[in-house]
Amino acid sequence: MSSSVALALLSPAANAFSPSCLSTTAARPFTGTTSIGMMKNNWNMISQQSTRTAFGASPLFATDDGAEEPTEEDATDAVTAKVDDEDEESDATEEAVKEDEAAAEAVETETEPESEPEPEPEPEASTETGMTSTEKNKLLQKMLMLASSTDRGQFASPSQKQSMQDMISQLESHASSTTISSDEEVYANPTETTAINGTWELLYSSTQLFGSSPFFMAGRSVCKTQEEADRYDWFCDMHRAALAISEIGKVRQIIGNGRMVSEFEVRAGAVPFIGDFTPFQYAGGLPFAITGAIVSSADIEATNGGTAWEIFMDQVEIKGSNVPLLRSILDKENVALQSRKLGSFLEENVESYSNPKPIFTTTYLDNDIRISRDEDGKVFVYGKMSDDTEPTDYKGVDADLGLLGLLEGLNDNFFKFSV
C-alpha cells in the first residue's frame, strides 16, 4: 500500500485504541481466547471502517471476514467508476433540461396565435396589349398635351399627326381586348350604352374640325367613288382656307335620346381692314366680332354590333348670331335648312339619289374619352364635359357685335361711371 492509503487505514485504528476504547476494554476481565476473538473482530471492523473512509461506502469494498483487503488498483477503479457515474448523471440531467426546454418551446408555439401574413399587393390589371391602367392614363396625358399644343390638330406637323395616330391605335387595341379589367370602365359596345350620352367636346381631329358635323359627314357619304371623295376633301380644305379670317371656337356633340346635335362655334372680325375705308394707314381692325354657331342635328341608330351609329341628317341652323337684324331672321324656325326634306325631295325626283346615311364608328369609350372615326378612317377625339343631353341655349347672346362689351370695358378701365 502507498503511504496515503496506509494513513487512511491506520487513522481509524488509532481511534480504536484511544483511551476511551482502552477504558472500556479495561473494565472487562481478560479471558484468554474470548479477548483475542474480540480483538480480532475489532480489527476487522476497524479495517472496514478505514476502507469506507478512504474510498467511500461502496459495495465493492464491503468485505466479510476472511476477505482480502482492497488494493491500490481497486481504489483507483472505484474512484474512476464513481466519476463515470457522476458524468452519466450530469449528462442525463442536461438532456432532461434540454427536453424540458424543447417541450416548453413547443407549448409556446402551439399557444401563440399564428400571425396572418401581410397580403401581397395585387398586380395591376393589364390587357392583351400589355397596357396597365397607369400606362393608359399616361398615354392619355400625352395625347391631350399634343392635342392642346396643336390647337386640336389644326397646326400639327406630319410627325405630330403620326405620333397621335400611333397613340390612338394603342387605345383602340386596348378597347378591343377581351381581357379588359372591369374596373377600367372601357365599354365594349359603346353606341349601345347610356355612358355615351352627354355633352362631348372635340379635343383633336386628323382632318378639318367641322368634319365631325353630321352635315359634312352626310355630304361625304353622297360620294360614290374614291375620286369623288378626294374632291370632297379638297372642297372642305378650300372652305376652311376661305374662312381663314375666322376663328373656330368650341366644337361639340350632344348625344341623347337617339339624337346627335353638333355645335360649331365661330368668330370673325366685324371690320377686319379699317384702312380700306379711312385715310389712315392702319392695317388692323376694330374690336368688334361676328359670332355664331352652326348647329346641325341628326337621328342616330346603333349598328355594327353596338360599335357605330348610322346617321340620318335632319337640319342645319345658325344660332346665337350677334349681328343685329340678322339675328331676328335666323331665329325663325322656317329659316333652318331642312336637309332631310331636301333629300327626300331629291329621292323622289332623281332616280340615282338616296338620302345619305353615313356610318360613324366609335372605337374607344370610357367615362371621359371617346374616339370615333368616319367612313374614311379620319379620327376625332372627344372629351366628356357633362351628362347633359340638352343642346346649348344661345338665346342669351346679345345681338350687338360685341359693342356693349366694348363700352363696358372702356367704362371699367377709364371713365368709371357707375351704372
Domain membership of residue 92 (yes or no) is no
Domain membership of residue 203 (yes or no) is yes
How confident is the prediction for the chain on average, in pLDDT? 77
Closest listed residue to residue 305, CA positions, set 262, 259, 363, 353: 363
Q: What is the pLDDT of residues 314-331, one digit of tens each?
A: 999 999 999 988 898 988
Of the three residues 75, 96, 116, the one that is the final residue of a domain is: 75
Extract the C-alpha cell encoding 92.
442525463
Same domain, 150 and 70: no
Same domain, 180 and 283: yes
Same domain, 292 and 169: yes
Domain membership of residue 121 (yes or no) is no
Domain membership of residue 48 (yes or no) is yes
Same domain, 229 and 370: yes
* Model pLDDT, residue 127: 45
Contact between residue 265 and residue 291 where contact means Cβ atoms under 8 Å apart:
yes
Question: CA 402, 291, 329: angle at the middle one, nearest 5?
Answer: 100
Residue 130 dihedral angles phi and psi, to the nearest 5°: 80, 15
77 burial via Cβ count (<10 Å: 0-12, 13-18, 19+): middle
Between residues 84 and 233, the one the model is more confident about: 233
Domain membership of residue 234 (yes or no) is yes
- Answer left, alpha or beta for residue 372, where phi above 0 means left and psi between -120 and 50 means alpha: beta
Of the three residues 58, 75, 92, the one that is the final residue of a domain is: 75
User: What percentage of residues in the chain have a pLDDT greater than 70?
Assistant: 63
Same domain, 369 and 246: yes
Same domain, 34 and 140: no
Between residues 236 and 61, the one the model is more confident about: 236
Residue 370 pairs in a beta bridge with 365, 382
Same domain, 260 and 375: yes
Q: What is the DSSP letter of 375?
A: T
Same domain, 141 and 54: no
Contact between residue 393 and residue 319 where contact means Cβ atoms under 8 Å apart:
no
Into how many domains does the chain fold? 2
Same domain, 337 and 195: yes
Domain membership of residue 88 (yes or no) is no
Same domain, 411 and 263: yes
Domain membership of residue 90 (yes or no) is no
Same domain, 280 and 411: yes
Of the three residues 75, 91, 108, the one that is the final residue of a domain is: 75
Q: What is the pLDDT of residues 364-390, one digit of tens each?
A: 999 999 999 999 999 999 999 999 999
Between residues 289 and 266, the one the model is more confident about: 266
Q: What is the pLDDT of residues 263-287, one digit of tens each?
A: 999 998 766 555 555 555 555 666 7
pLDDT at 296 exceeding the cut of 70: yes
**pLDDT range class, residue 404, cuts 50, 70, 90:** confident
Between residues 334 and 50, the one the model is more confident about: 334
Domain membership of residue 110 (yes or no) is no
Domain that holds residue 19: 3-75
Same domain, 305 and 219: yes
